[in-house]
Amino acid sequence: MDRGELQEILDRNRPFAKLGNTADYIPELAYADPDQIGLTIASPDGKITSVGDCETPFTLQSISKVINLLVAVLDNGPDQVFSKVGMESSGEPFNSVSELESKPENRPLNPLINAGAIAVSSMIHGNNVEEQYERVCQFISGIIGRDNLEYDEKVFQSEILTGDRNRSLAYFMKSTGVIDTNVEKALELYFRLCSIKVTCSDLAKIGLFLSTGGRSQGQVVHKNLPRAVKISLSIMLTAGMYNESGETLLRSGIPAKSGVSGGILAAPPHEMGIGIIGPAINGKGNSVAGLKILEDISSKYRLHIFDK
Ligand code: DON
């Protein structure tokens, strides 16, 4: 991967950050630097190429939903997971209450909107939140090759204090049987997983893992991983950017997942892993500059799935 080319893509799209704002509905996220822009590519030969500010960590936020889905599918099998959560994309915001109420059996439309992710988190195996959290961290550590993962306590507390919309989604799902465990524990796990601190290079490594069908250093570490990865990539493609997923599919054509911290994880099949950070987000919760960078990378390296 040519560093100069990546730097050029980054610099060209830097001004788009001015069109977005840091998330403020989670107060602690509002303190992020809106001008931070970073990009990392992880290549199949193991090479990591970073440009921009890739050192400053940020929280996974909704990108954690991809990992939660993988672990829950490995733990329960896809049939059990998708008996509680749907597979369709959504035209509503990621935290929509009305959508949840209006759908058949009140099942969340997919595992990547908040309701779906909270329900999926509740299905992760473990005797308590600590054990569930540790299992997800071990899964991530195995992919990114470092075991010092931690969550951002301030962001976590900020979500606990202000996450009443998520709480309403979760209690509603409890009332309809989608969640059949302790609601507060399910929320605590979900908030903790959203608050895990990562860098662009961590995201790029997770992207590479997904793009190669769940291989770590060339090995499939769990026999059911290829199927779980295929499920996750499919839903990332159709729903990873919420109510901007259709446009992202047209423009970039790469399975990707955003977080309100401004991170984007992208996994062009069989090609590479991509990690992007740009905390200035648009009204749909996606990094403004990040989406532009993704589009440019897709076009430069012909990564759109229908360019093949
Ligand atoms: O639950 C929330 O609202 C946040 N912790 C995560 C939402 C999010 O990242 C949406 N993404 N773009």
What confidence tens digit (pLDDT) does each residue in 182-207 have? 999 999 999 999 999 999 999 999 99
Give catalytic status of residue 284 as yes or no: no
Phi, psi (rounded to 5 degrees) for 266: -135, 145
CA distance 99 to 121: 20
pLDDT at 220: 65
Tell me the pLDDT of the chain averaged across its residues. Answer: 96
Q: Measured in whole angstroms, how far is the alpha carbon of residue 125 from the centre of its chain?
A: 20
CA distance 85 to 98: 16
pLDDT over 70 percentage in the chain: 98
Give the side-chain half-sphere CA count within 13 A for 32: 33
Which atom number of ligand 1 is nearest to the Cα of residue 25? 3
Give catalytic status of residue 25 as yes or no: no
Range 4-23 average pLDDT: 97
CB of 94 closer than 6 A to ligand 1?
yes
CB of 62 closer than 6 A to ligand 1?
yes
Q: Residues with Cβ < 8 Å from 87, sequence gap 6 or more? A: 110, 234, 235
pTM of this structure? 0.97
pLDDT at 223: 83
CB of 258 closer than 6 A to ligand 1?
yes
Whether pLDDT at 22 is above 90: yes
pLDDT digits (tens, 9 = 90+) for 24-33: 999 999 999 9
Range 122-140 average pLDDT: 97
Give catalytic status of residue 257 as yes or no: no
Pocket test for ligand 1, best of 28, 65, 114 (most atoms within 8 A of CB): 114
pLDDT digits (tens, 9 = 90+) for 221-253: 788 999 999 999 999 999 999 999 999 999 999
Listing DSSP states for the chain in one string gives: --HHHHHHHHHHHGGGGGG-B---SSGGGGGS-TT--EEEEE-TTS-EEEEES-SS-EE-GGGHHHHHHHHHHHHH-HHHHHHHS-----SS-TT-SHHHHHSGGG--S-TTSHHHHHHHHTTS--SSHHHHHHHHHHHHHHHHT-----B-HHHHHHHHHH-HHHHHHHHHHHHTTS--S-HHHHHHHHHHHHTBEE-HHHHHHHHHHHHTTSEETTEESSTTHHHHHHHHHHHHHHHTTGGGHHHHHHHT-S-EEE-TTSEEEE--TTT-EEEEE---B-TTS-BHHHHHHHHHHHHHTT--GGG-
Give catalytic status of residue 151 as yes or no: no
pLDDT digits (tens, 9 = 90+) for 245-296: 999 999 999 999 999 999 999 999 999 999 999 999 999 999 999 999 999 9
pLDDT at 222: 80
